[in-house]
Amino acid sequence: MGSFSVWHWAIVLVVVALVFGGRGKISGLMGDAAKGIRAFKEGLKDSEAAETNVAPVKILAEREKDEARS
């Protein structure tokens, strides 16, 4: 009961081969996750930049329209 049998080791080896086997699946998944996080951060920066740049332009355009009407 204290040690693993041959079948236990075989199952462990199969699980390890599935997780770490092939062409670096774990590193590929982590790389994809990092790209997703980077894209999310860039999207946040773009939306903040768009809000700060668009708002003054809209205000100025509205002021010009109001001055033209007066």
What ranges do the domains of the chain cover? 6-69
pLDDT of residue 37: 92
The length of the chain, given as a count of residues: 70
- Evaluate if residue 22 carries a pLDDT over 70: no
Share of the chain above pLDDT 70, in %: 69
Taking the C-alpha atoms of residue 57 and residue 65, their distance in angstroms, rounded to an integer, is 12
- Evaluate if residue 2 carries a pLDDT over 70: no
Instruction: For 6-16, write each residue's pLDDT tens digit.
Output: 999 999 988 88
Tokens 């590929």: give the residue. Answer: 28
Place 51 in a pLDDT band, splitting at 50, 70 and 90: low
Q: Which residues 6+ apart lie within 8 Å of 19 measured at CB?
A: 25, 26
Phi, psi for residue 48 in degrees, rounded to 5: -65, -40
Taking the C-alpha atoms of residue 34 and residue 49, their distance in angstroms, rounded to an integer, is 23
